[in-house]
Amino acid sequence: MKLILRTRFSPSYFAVIAFVLLYSLISLSGGDSGNEYLYGDLYFALIIGVFSTISIIFGGISVTKSDQEFLLVSAIRRRDLVPSLFSAQFLASGLILLAASLITIFGIYRTSPLVGIAILDVILLALFSVSIGIVLTDRSLFLRVPLAIASLLWILSSYLGFRYGAISFLRYNPVLPLITIFPVTFVSMFFAVRMLSGENLPFRVSGIRRQSSNFRKTSRYAGLSPSAAILKLGITQISLATRASSMGNIKSTARRIQFSVVLIIFVVIAVAYSIYMLFYATPSENVSFPGIAGVNLVTVFLIIYLGSTPQMMMGSGAMAYERAWLSFMSMEPGTYVNLLIISKMFQAAIAGIPIAIAGLMLYVLGVHGTLMIIPVFEIVSPFMVGVYLFMAFSVRPYQMKDENYIPARFSANQFLMILPIIGFYLIAFSILFEPLSLAYLVSFMALILALILTRRDYWARRLNKMVERGFI
């Protein structure tokens, strides 16, 4: 098991997890009362919701190409292999969830003897997320999407009054949710272990069986100028690389999605957001919302997550799929990287248009505080994507040479990618709470962007490093 883990994780990865766990434990000894923990339940609901959705939609078994070619064909007893593969999967993703959520749990249950049961709830939820990801290896989106919706409903049901929902331990009691968590986790773990023990494991992790070999719709690039070709590819296609996200994700997928499909999803989100804001976002006798300075925090968080997470994911594969021997040989690296970054910034801006329009219409209809959605989606989101990609290209990038396999070990570097998101939160919060700050922040963002896009020589030097580290 030790050797299997060493092929997947760097010591720095474990160091980061240990740090977060330690931080959680230290927070236990703080002086704050657990009851005053500031909306920690909302934070936790988001973490577990996003995490389980990512696990279900993109889940699979975390294997390297070497695993497929050497480990899975070796004479290893299943009783040795299965616990190792499961543990590796849990360390790659489940432990991150656990580490990130302990702060919330301790914040809420610090003074209660029920803290142990609440932690058990979280451990089971983490095991569920990891197991369901394994079970769904090589399964199609037609199965994954309904399951993800069901899982999300189960998680959010606690907020709709269901006392046995996945996270109802945050609002009611940590014992009640065990009634649903335990059987769901047990069943998913059973099938996960069965999947890992099965004779078809090597075929299933290769993921070849269920994918069609032809694209139904292809794009044309002939006749375009070099810049137009790069911008067209960057804007019209989304290549997801789930490992590039900072959620301790599970595997890399070479999944190409047409931007037009995503745009439709954003239109649906804009409509749903408008309905929510028009009919449900107003406090009443029966419904109250957490707030600071009269601002509805649920609405603010909604905007911030919608303005950051999808856009970041849309750009996450931009570097992993790069073919440096083709693109950087065909063009000066600085120009190429700049065009790629700009294309993804455009993509984020276009994706945000439906929600920005919704914000404007809501403002015209008299809904308070929706006008600032426009700069959040049309300025801050694209800016954040630019910073994110700049960092993704700079921080030891990896190149996906074979889909379905993690290209390298999990390392602490991926946690650095959280930084642009934190930056986004700070800027978005400032604008939403104090609109006048936009004037200063636009200048600041313009300056940062100028620094990013004028570093052309930097990319020529960077390319050397990429190649030296095996990028090609």
Partner 1 sequence: MPVVNTDMEESHGFHFSSYCISADGVWKSYGHQDALKGLTLQIPCGERVALIGPNGAGKSTTLKLLAGLLKPDAGSVSIKGFPPNSYEAKKLIGYLPEDASPYLTLSVRENLEYIGAIRNTAGLADRIESLMELLELREFEKARTSRLSRGNRQKLALALSIIHDPEIVLMDEPLNYLDIPTQEKVISFLTDMKATFLVSTHIMSIAERLTDRCFIISHGNRLWEGSMTELRAEAAKDTPIESIVARLMSGVH
Q: How far is residue 299's CA from residue 119's CA, in Å, rounded to a whole number?
A: 29
- Tell me how many degrees the CA angle 356-360-362 measures, rounded to the nearest 5: 115
Smallest distance from the beta carbon of 345 to partner 1, in angstroms? Answer: 19
Smallest distance from the beta carbon of 324 to partner 1, in angstroms? Answer: 7
Smallest distance from the beta carbon of 60 to partner 1, in angstroms? Answer: 15
Smallest distance from the beta carbon of 46 to partner 1, in angstroms? Answer: 29
Residues within the interface to partner 1 (CB under 8 A): 208, 211-215, 218-226, 228-230, 233, 237, 239, 254-256, 317, 321, 323-333, 336, 399-401, 403, 460-461, 463-464, 467-468, 472
DSSP state of 291: E
Q: Quick check: 391 and 416 in contact, CB under 8 A? A: yes
For 390-420, the three-class secondary structure string (H helix, E strand, C coil) is HHHHHCCCCCCCCCCCCCCCECCHHHHCHHH
Question: Which C-beta is closer to partner 1: that of 70 or that of 325?
Answer: 325
Nearest residue to 96 (alpha-carbon basis) of 414, 459, 471, 462 = 414
Smallest distance from the beta carbon of 405 to partner 1, in angstroms? Answer: 11
Smallest distance from the beta carbon of 93 to partner 1, in angstroms? Answer: 24
Question: Which C-beta is closer to partner 1: that of 163 or that of 255?
Answer: 255
Give the SS3 label for residue 191: helix
Smallest distance from the beta carbon of 70 to partner 1, in angstroms? Answer: 17
Question: Which C-beta is closer to partner 1: that of 143 or that of 460?
Answer: 460
Q: How far is residue 169's CA from residue 48's CA, in Å, rounded to a whole number?
A: 13
Q: How far is residue 97's CA from residue 143's CA, in Å, rounded to a whole number?
A: 24
Long-range pairs for 220-229: beta carbons < 8 A, 24 or more residues apart: 226/330, 226/331, 227/339
Q: Where are the alpha helices (DSSP H) in 376-417?
A: 381-394, 413-416
DSSP state of 34: G
Q: Quick check: 128 and 98 in contact, CB under 8 A? A: no
Question: Which C-beta is closer to partner 1: that of 332 or that of 434?
Answer: 332
Question: Which C-beta is closer to partner 1: that of 163 or that of 396?
Answer: 396
Question: Which C-beta is closer to partner 1: that of 13 or that of 328?
Answer: 328
Q: Which residues contact 204 (CB under 8 A, 6 or more apart)?
A: 61, 137, 138, 195, 198
Question: Which C-beta is closer to partner 1: that of 214 or that of 260?
Answer: 214
Question: Which C-beta is closer to partner 1: that of 11 or that of 470?
Answer: 470
Smallest distance from the beta carbon of 141 to partner 1, in angstroms? Answer: 16
